[in-house]
Structure 1
Amino acid sequence: MKAFLILEDGTVFSGTSIGSTKDMISEIVFNTSMTGYLEVLTDPSYAGQAVVMTYPLIGNYGITPDMESKKAWPDGYIVRELSRMPSNFRCEGTIQDFLASQDIPGIAGVDTRALTKILREKGTMNGMITTREDYDLQEIIPKLKAYSVGDVVSEVTCSQSYVLEGQGPKVALMDFGAKNNIIRSLQNRGCEVVVYPADTPAEVIINSNPDGIMLSNGPGDPASFETIIQETKKLYDSDIPIFAICLGHQLMALANGAKTYKLKYGHRGGNHPVKDLSNGRVYISSQNHGYAVDASTMDPAIAKEAFVNVNDGTNEGLIYEGKKIFTVQFHPEACPGPQDSGYLFDRFMDMMKGA
């Protein structure tokens, strides 16, 4: 079945429908990872977005037991070529069947290189995937321009707290859309992990006497979560060690007076270089974010810049003065992506033991 991708600037790409055949309107973003498409599909940070995979062949090893959450989250999926015959000893099905089972519309056969160049030059924009050949641009484009992602954290967070047993330090994990490998990275180091919904009051976390607090990744505009920001400030005011990733990093910065801003087209992929300002060392990191902290708006008496993006100089991490708190914009838990910065979990462990 034929399908069309319509961008809000009026550009139209045609291709073949994959997955669900329903109409979809979403924010169109691109990911440069060469592998790990299943982890991308099941990353809750993609809620409210449709993902373009820049690597030209997707699905060649099928669906494997590597999901980062219980379901897929993107609104849509856009690829150049979809493998029809996956080959892998762990393969449990095809990506097209997976998309259909998750009710996610997709389109294959799109010139993803040309599409990505448009998004880089003009910036992230909204788009629509449809199988209707009688579509009316005059009717669709106003709808595309009116679309906004909204509050997606409430959709991806857990509904109630739960405990994952361990013999080591107790970590309270704020679930703003946490990937499974954050939990695995803590459990592999012996931690007992207590996962809390995003709207849990700070007093509940503090009164549970955790050895450390983890603020997870998640989707959406960080500045829009005013209540969560207020609760994050209360966590900051406690003396509990805190490690924050991606959205958690942004929320902690906002809670302490810094500003965030939307990037032109975001950082999404497994090949982003970040520089540790303490020693000049560069790590290759996994990233998935459309917003960044404006480090110039942070009071240097509160926090100093710890990491920067080598490509564009944007902030990639902060260390808080006089506090056992450090935060990063990238994903040290990877999945997909390189493991270069996994040592940050060990730093968090040392911080908790010191506490």
Structure 2
Amino acid sequence: MVRLGLADGAVFEGRCEGPWEPREGETVFTTGSTGYPQGLTDPSYRGQILVFAFPLVGQYGVDEDALESLRPQPEAVVVSRVPETGAGRRFREWLRRAGIPLMEGVDTRALVLHLRDRGTLRGRLGDGSLPRSSRFAPDLVASASCAVPETDPGEGPLAAVLDWGVKESILRRLRERGVRVARLPWNASAREVLALRPRGVLLGNGPGDPQDLLSGPVGTVRELLGRVPLFGICLGMQVLALACGAATEKLPFGHRGVNHPVREEATGRTLLTSQNHGYGVVDASAEGAGLTVTFRHLGDGSVEGIASGAYPAWGVQFHPEAAPGPWDGAFLFDRFVASLDEEGRKGAAA
């Protein structure tokens, strides 16, 4: 018997096959019914215990050509049931090889309802004892980032990507549009970014609390404001907001799933989006930082997009690359590429 102990004293029971060690992390849930290989390899889940609300996980194995990073990212995975099929066995083996405990046979409906009502809680998978720490490890982003710069060869407009745990699908969406990608480590300076002469900079997603990045990446982005177009996704939007002078906050239980509706404020149209974040921009802080709210969540009204009134800089809290999820926001990559083209025309005219 394995127990998941939560910070408020609640305990949920299940089982783990094979050898495993106790794991601790922020306990979060996702409502997606498909796309679990992409979700599990999203670096934004680093340092978390991931609970699947959908009762059956592992039903189609793992397509290793469609992953978002090289390995599963959560500290542990909690599910109701994995099918006793070849696909289910391959799913279990994939997590086992990565050293990720898989807790099965859990009443995930009760667990998700508990987290929904009590908010996100720290958890410890083991004997039922309470978690020993109260926050993320400070090196989460560093551990999710590339170690050295990587630049695509060939022709085409160059976009720098600040890698704080960026998903592979974000890079794919840029390359599909003819963009060359220069992927830079999490602690790259503004000078290092500008030395590449990029036409624009994409601020990628990643794990943890954006406040932990105040001493490095936030300052880097602040120096880049007005120098090149900036496009932030998820954590990247939060860092952009902090760089502009806005504030961020922890959401009660975050948005994680593939069917979150958001409204584009300028047009009134609704998009279905894929989301994976536990922090957001404080609504009341946006105007004072010179930011316009461009998208809002239709469930709780939270900020889902911002744009600077002073600089070519904007971001969204959701994932326009999907993977998994709907493609309603894919046009945002076209907007970013258009800004690269505009920057190229300015350079040619100078």
TM-score normalised according to structure 2 size: 0.94
Alignment partner of 1:100: what SS? helix
Q: Is the 8 A contact 2:246 2:289 kept in 1?
A: no
Structure 1 partner of 2:103: 107
Give per-residue Cα distances to partners, 1:105-156, cap 9 Å, x unaligned: 12111111110010011111111212xxxx4x6xx32xx1533212200110
- Tell me the amino acid that sits aligned with residue 219 of structure 2: Q
More displaced stretch, 107-116 vs 317-326 = 317-326
Q: 1:20 to 1:341 in 2, by over 3 A?
A: farther
> Is 1:19–1:98's contact at 8 Å kept on the other side of the alignment?
no
Deviations 1:34-84 (A, max 9, x none): 101111111100111010010110000001122100111100000011122
1:147 corresponds to: 134
C-alpha distance 165-197 of structure 1, shift in aligned 2 (>3 A): same
From 229, 234, 240, the equivalent of 1:241 is: 229
Partner Cα separation in structure 1 for residue 19 and residue 25 of structure 2: 15
Partner of 1:9 in structure 2?
A: 8
Count of equivalent residues: 340
Partner AA of 2:53 in structure 1? T
**Counterpart-to-counterpart distance in 2, 1:74 and 1:99:** 10
Unaligned runs of 5+ in 1: none
2:241 aligns with: 253
| Structure-2 residue corresponding to 1:229 | 218
What 5-or-longer segments of structure 2 have no aligned partner? Answer: 344-350
1:108/1:255 CA distance change after superposition, 3 Å? same
Identity of aligned residues (%): 38
Q: 1:169 to 1:18 in 2, by over 3 A?
A: farther
In the alignment, is the contact (CA less than 8 A) between 2:246 and 2:288 conserved in 1?
no
| Counterpart-to-counterpart distance in 2, 1:339 and 1:190 | 19
Tell me the residue number matched to 1:126: 122
After superposition, the CA RMSD in angstroms is 1.5
2:264 alignment counterpart: 276
Relative distance call for 1:18 and 1:328 in structure 2 (3 A) is farther
CA distance in 2 between partners of 1:220 and 1:158 (Å): 16
Contact 1:19/1:106 (<8 A) preserved: no
1:237 Cα deviation after fit = 3.7
| Partner amino acid, structure 1, of 2:301 | G
Q: Find 1:182's aligned residue among 160, 164, 170.
A: 170
Whole-Å separation in 2 of the counterparts to 1:263 and 1:121:
13
Classify the secondary structure of the residue corresponding to 1:146. Answer: coil
Name the aligned partner's letter for residue 228 of structure 1.
Answer: P
Deviation of 1:169 (Å): 1.1
Distance in 2, Cα, partners of 1:115 & 1:18: 20
1:301: how far off?
Answer: 6.6
CA distance in 1, matches of 2:248, 2:94: 35
